[in-house]
């Protein structure tokens, strides 16, 4: 299996010598095998274990196992304990989604060149079946991508049985998440009930499905290249030339329309894409979101009223007071310690910790901050996606100083400027 992993890394250009790789380590068989493979292949690795604190003592047992495992092999490891339930309650998301969002925020803040997750060929098969059951296109059938940005999956061509054999040969134990043993979750039902039936039909399911995924990914890459070219050629002054779109093959025209909608903050369904294509033929205007419309004028398809099209706004707040930001009022209030009689929270800033002039603005690409109570840096874009509807994200209030973002609406101030027991001057930001 080690040779297969090495070939997979080269096949997809996952990592180069000299790059540091973060190994996402849960303690389960897949992640333990990933750790050993990367170590034996000579990569510079840092392990990262996240304790979701969802399974009582079992969660802490897994944490101890990972620490001891990395200590045995001399691999540096960072451990993060996160409060998933509070995060999900605060952001209105499921436990699965909330845990994933928190994990990837931590991973992205690691400073490593690549992030290696332990997704396997077995995971790909289960995910493809899950997507197929819900309804999907070629992207969903391609399942989990081997590489996405700086996230790599070296085990993507290895089956779960190969991984367990690899570990057993080395007499290397692992831990088992008890939630994986029940049929409470849809993916578990697929794993326990459907996949075994497919192996009975085709004992070589691993090999044939791996080849199928390769074929589908090649087809998808071709379609993406062709649709990107069509998008560039059809774009005229911010709108798509309807004639150019409609004269193209249906598989490409749909992708181009979907791309325009997504670039303007809309998450389109297949039905929405078809309806937008229809107004390209007949003209007119179509609602695609709250106060967001697809409109055809003079043969050009445009998205109007989209929040993502709002301009960049920057207001220098040289003193306390009220500032108008889009349709909001931002109140900056400075009070001395003797006037404050309340418990200090993430919405209380130490005015003296601010560097330079405060700027009131909307989000910029690459914005990050570390919030109070978190030991990792958060991507502001992801924070806004969790809290605000797409049409409101560009209007979310951001405060920044000379060193970067210090405040995000709905979340509070950055850890580096939070008030504490020694604070002399408090800054409060109120938005109405």
Give 114-160 pLDDT, tens digit per residue. Answer: 999 999 999 999 999 999 998 888 999 999 999 988 899 999 999 99
Residues β-bridged to residue 301: 240, 296
Domain holding 284: CATH number? 1.20.59.20
Per-residue pLDDT at 342 = 55
Do residues 304 and 349 share a domain? Answer: no
Q: How would residue 424 be classed by pLDDT, with cut points 50, 70 and 90?
A: confident
Q: How would residue 188 be classed by pLDDT, with cut points 50, 70 and 90?
A: confident
Residues β-bridged to residue 45: 21
Do residues 26 and 115 share a domain? Answer: yes
Q: Is residue 227 part of a domain?
A: no
- Name the more confident of 198 and 365: 198
Owning domain of residue 249: 237-308
Per-residue pLDDT at 374 = 72
Q: Is residue 222 part of a domain?
A: no
Bin 305: left if φ > 0, else alpha if -120 < ψ < 50, else beta.
left
Q: Is residue 225 part of a domain?
A: no
Residue where one domain finishes, among candidates 274, 308, 342: 308
What average pLDDT does this structure show over 399-422? 90
Do residues 316 and 297 share a domain? Answer: no
Per-residue pLDDT at 423 = 87
Q: Is residue 230 part of a domain?
A: no
Do residues 303 and 316 share a domain? Answer: no
| For residue 304, pLDDT beyond 80 | yes
Per-residue pLDDT at 310 = 66
| For residue 96, pLDDT beyond 90 | no
Do residues 125 and 21 share a domain? Answer: yes
Do residues 155 and 27 share a domain? Answer: yes
Residue where one domain finishes, among candidates 209, 229, 257: 209
Tell me how far apart the alpha carbons of residues 55 and 181 are, in angstroms, rounded to a whole number: 13
Per-residue pLDDT at 339 = 56
Tell me how far apart the alpha carbons of residues 430 and 332 are, in angstroms, rounded to a whole number: 7
Do residues 300 and 316 share a domain? Answer: no
Do residues 354 and 332 share a domain? Answer: yes
Q: Is residue 34 part of a domain?
A: yes
Do residues 339 and 301 share a domain? Answer: no
Q: Is residue 264 part of a domain?
A: yes
Of 314, 326, 319, nearest in space to 367 by CA: 314
Do residues 172 and 260 share a domain? Answer: no
Per-residue pLDDT at 381 = 86
Residue where one domain finishes, among candidates 191, 209, 227: 209
What average pLDDT does this structure show over 359-384? 84
Domain holding 8: CATH number? 3.40.50.620
- Name the more confident of 149 and 205: 205
Do residues 195 and 324 share a domain? Answer: no
Count: domains in the chain = 3
**pTM attached to this predicted model:** 0.70
pLDDT in tens, 267-299: 888 899 999 999 999 999 998 887 788 999 989
Per-residue pLDDT at 340 = 53
% residues pLDDT > 70 (the chain): 95
Tell me how far apart the alpha carbons of residues 101 and 87 are, in angstroms, rounded to a whole number: 10
Angle at CA of residue 150, ends 186 and 396, nearest 5°: 80
pLDDT in tens, 374-397: 767 888 888 887 778 766 788 899
Residues β-bridged to residue 147: 152
Q: Is residue 224 part of a domain?
A: no
| For residue 173, pLDDT beyond 80 | yes
Q: Is residue 358 part of a domain?
A: yes
Do residues 284 and 332 share a domain? Answer: no
Per-residue pLDDT at 337 = 67
| For residue 343, pLDDT beyond 70 | no
Lowest-confidence region among 3-17, 30-44, 145-159, 323-337: 323-337
% residues pLDDT > 90 (the chain): 53
């Amino acid at each position: 299996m080690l040779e297969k992993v090495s070939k997979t890394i080269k096949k997809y250009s996952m990592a180069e010598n000299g790059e540091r790789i973060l190994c996402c380590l849960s303690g389960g068989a897949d992640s333990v095998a990933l750790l050993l493979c990367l170590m034996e292949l000579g990569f510079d690795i840092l392990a990262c274990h996240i304790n979701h604190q969802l399974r009582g003592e079992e969660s802490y047992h897994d944490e101890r196992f990972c620490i001891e495992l990395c200590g045995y092999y001399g691999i540096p490891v960072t451990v993060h304990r996160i409060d998933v339930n509070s995060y999900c309650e605060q952001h209105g998301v499921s436990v699965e989604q909330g845990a994933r969002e928190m994990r990837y925020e931590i991973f992205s803040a690691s400073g490593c060149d690549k992030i290696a997750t332990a997704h396997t060929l077995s995971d790909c098969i289960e995910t493809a079946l899950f997507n197929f059951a819900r309804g999907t296109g070629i992207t969903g059938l391609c399942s989990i991508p081997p590489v996405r940005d700086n996230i790599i999956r070296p085990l993507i061509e290895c089956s779960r049985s190969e991984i367990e054999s690899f570990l057993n040969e080395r007499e290397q134990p692992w831990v088992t998440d008890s939630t994986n043993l029940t049929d409470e979750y849809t993916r578990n039902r697929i794993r326990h009930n459907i996949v075994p039936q497919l192996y009975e039909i085709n004992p070589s399911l691993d090999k044939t499905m791996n080849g199928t995924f390769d074929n589908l990914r090649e087809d998808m890459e071709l379609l993406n290249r062709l649709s990107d070219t069509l998008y560039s050629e059809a774009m005229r002054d911010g709108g798509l030339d309807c004639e150019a779109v409609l004269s193209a093959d249906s598989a490409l025209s749909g992708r181009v329309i979907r791309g325009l909608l997504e670039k303007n903050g809309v998450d389109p369904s297949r039905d929405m894409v078809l309806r937008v294509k229809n107004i390209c033929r007949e003209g007119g205007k179509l609602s695609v979101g709250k106060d967001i419309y697809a409109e055809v004028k003079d043969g050009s398809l445009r998205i109007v009223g989209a929040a993502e099209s709002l301009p960049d706004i920057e207001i220098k707040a040289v003193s306390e007071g009220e500032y108008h930001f889009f349709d909001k009022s931002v109140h900056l209030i400075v009070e001395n310690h003797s006037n404050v009689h309340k418990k200090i929270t993430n919405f209380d800033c130490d005015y003296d910790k601010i560097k330079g002039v405060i700027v009131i603005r909307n989000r910029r690409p690459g914005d990050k901050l570390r919030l109070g109570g978190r030991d990792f840096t958060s991507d502001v874009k992801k924070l806004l996606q969790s809290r605000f509807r797409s049409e409101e994200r560009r209007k979310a209030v951001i405060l920044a100083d000379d060193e970067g973002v210090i405040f995000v609406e709905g979340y509070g101030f950055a850890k580096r400027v939070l008030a504490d027991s020694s604070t002399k001057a408090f800054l409060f930001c109120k938005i109405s």
